[in-house]
Structure 1
Amino acid sequence: MINRILLIFIISVFGISYQCMAQGDLLVTPTRVMFEGNKQKETLNLVNTGNDTATYTISFLQYNMNEDGSFILLDKPGENQMFADPFLRIFPRRVTLAPGEPQAIMLQFRRKADMLPGEYRSHIYFRSEKNSNPLGMNNSIKDTTELQVQLVPIFGISIPVIIRSGEVNVSSELSDLKLESSNEGGQFLRLTINRTGNISLYGDLVIQFTPLQGKPLEIGVVKGVGVYTNINKRRIVVKLNSTTPLINGILNVKYQNASEKKKIVYTEAELKI
């Protein structure tokens, strides 16, 4: 008897700012989709970067965000949350890719007249199936009376899809800044991002230190920090890139958009040390 144990690995790209994401030999771009204004279509590009032919099924999942940035899988909308998948059409839903083969996935948004103002969100889930053996694997079984265990990893990637409808608004504020030291001798900064409004936040945190006599130094960056609509605050801990303890100066923290073209600062705060 053959007993196959399936190991499931899910990587959720909830606002990671990389332009592409690779996991389990699957490359996906873009890693975040936004429908607002008159936008109705998006093309997702997949590439099998592995050495074996692989099959992927595509579906939707729903998540809530905790204040520490972790996620909870949902089966129904929570308070102040609306799912996007009833308004989305995706095709094809299943693809088989040879090594190095690309595939375009079409995502279409169908706006409805009764949509409420605010933000609808779901996650597209790409799940890998093991439809073929890796190159060089022999299927023959020498002794069928023995229990054989084969570890078959099943990888998955999920990316957020956001629809913004009607009148939307959002504002943010940084609070609870606190500089702390680790047992290993490094320093890190704790802070809270506060959100108000009917849509989520998404951007980069940039931390600078300015000594009393000297120029500003960038000592920390966290890209792709999101605050979903089901929470009003997100607690962040940032390890600072400083070789010496920070004393006698000012820490400046900016929360800004993730665009590489034009930077817009949502909010900022300072901490004197």
Structure 2
Amino acid sequence: MKRISITVFACFLFGSVAFAQVTIAPTNLFLDANSRFGSYMVVNGGNQTQEVSIDFFFAYSSTDNDGNRSAVVDDSLVQQQYSIADYIRAFPQNFTLSPGQRQMVRLRVTPPNDLNDGTYWARIKTKSSPEAPPLELQTSEVVSATVGITVEQVTGLFYKKGDVSTGIEIEGIRSSLNDDGSLAVMVDYNRTGNSPFLGSVTLSLFNPAGEEVRRSFISTSMYFDGVYRQDFDLTDLAPGTYRVSALFESQRPDLSSNDLIQMDPVTASETISIR
């Protein structure tokens, strides 16, 4: 019997994770110097026994000048400054889940005592794959093949030390037309304070009469300075002078306000011409 392995990566830094046969909750953990222990639940909702392993690594999201977002996993300088990955232990780190079974994974963070005030973070990688059949069943006489799908689900852990703060300064709002005729709105921002901004961004487009004709809302994480981008469909919008407004808030529907570092809402607007 041949066994073919396929690895599927799933990155969920907010919301609930429900992928393949294994589910995880919650998908973000927040710890601090007074609470260095956390936990999350891994549930096997499928009909196959799953082998599960836990690992930790450092990564963050970044944007280019056009607001295109990507994950950065190889920035050693930033990792040295902000990573908590080397100081996390999982109990258990490797285990097997029968169909319908669940396992509480407990985490312990033991950071060095000389950390500066601020927020540090890591990614939790929960890898699951169907349990391999015993060797005596894998005979060469069987010509069929089984496909073993390995799913790697990535969630977040944040560790807050001392006085923490975050903020957003909007440098400006730009816009341009995409090749498909849609409008790209780009908000240049600086992230202030000593911690990432975890919150939401609302962009609104108002017509010449002051009526809101387009709106976008997204929960997001901003680790450093960057560009936030949102594309708007201009179908049915008449030419004219429009106004774009941007609102950054430290509120997210998927996270408790007690876990989020609060800041005053930040807003800015800019007029644009649609032809």
Q: CA deviation at 1:107?
A: 1.9
The answer to whether the 8 Å contact 2:82/2:119 transfers is yes
Contact 1:219 1:242 (8 Å CA) reproduced: no
Query: Which aligned pairs between 1:168-207 and structure 2 lie closer than 5 A?
Result: 168-207=164-203
1:39 corresponding residue in structure 2: 35
Which residue number in structure 1 is paired with residue 205 of structure 2?
209
Tell me, which stretches of 5 or more residues in structure 1 are unaligned?
Answer: none
For residues 101-134 of structure 1, give each alpha carbon's deviation from its aligned partner in whole angstroms, at most 9, with x where no partner exists: 222211233465333222221111101133146x
Distance 1:217 1:97 in 2: 49
Amino acid at match of 1:189: V
Q: TM-score, normalised by structure 2?
A: 0.79
Residue 58 of structure 1 deviates from its aligned partner by 0.6
Aligned mates of 1:49, 1:163 — CA distance in 2: 30
Name the counterpart of 1:114: 114
| Equivalent of 2:245 in 212, 227, 252 | 252
Do the aligned residues in 1 keep the contact of 2:9 with 2:152 (CA within 8 Å)? yes
Q: Give the letter aligned to residue 271 of structure 2.
A: K
Quick one: which amino acid aligns to residue 269 of structure 1? A
Cα 1:183–1:69 shift into 2, 3 Å: closer
Match of 2:246, SS? strand
Give the stretch that moved more between structures: 153-162 or 165-174: 165-174
User: Which runs of 5 or more structure 2 residues have no equivalent in the other structure?
Assistant: none
Distance 1:34 1:216, change over 3 A: same
Determine if contact 1:91/1:107 at 8 Å carries over to the other structure.
Answer: yes
Question: SS of the counterpart of 1:66?
Answer: strand
Q: Give the aligned partner of residue 91 of structure 1.
A: 91
196-205 vs 210-219, which deviates more?
Answer: 210-219
Match of 1:23 in 2: 19
Pairwise CA distance, 1:253: 0.9
Report the more deviating stretch, 78-87 or 40-49: 78-87
Q: CA deviation at 1:157?
A: 0.8
**Cα drift, residue 140 of structure 1:** 6.1
Does residue 66 of the first structure (1) align with residue 62 of the second (2)? yes
Aligned-pair distance for 1:150?
Answer: 5.4
| Superposition deviation, residue 37 in structure 1 | 6.0
Q: Who is 2:225 aligned against?
A: 233
Which string of whole-angstrom CA distances, capped at 9 and with x for unpartnered residues, describes residues 131-166 of structure 1? 146xxxx9665467xxx8754321101112111112
How many residues of Structure 1 are paired with residues of Structure 2 in the alignment?
A: 258
% same residue: 17
**What's the TM-score once normalised by structure 1's chain length?**
0.79
Instruction: Note closer, same or farther for the CA distance 1:27–1:166 as it changes in structure 2 (3 Å cut).
Output: same
Q: Alignment partner of 2:48: what SS? A: coil
C-alpha distance in structure 2 between counterparts of 1:255 and 1:190, whole Å:
14
Q: What's the RMSD between the two structures over aligned residues?
A: 3.0
Q: Secondary structure at the match of 2:181?
A: coil
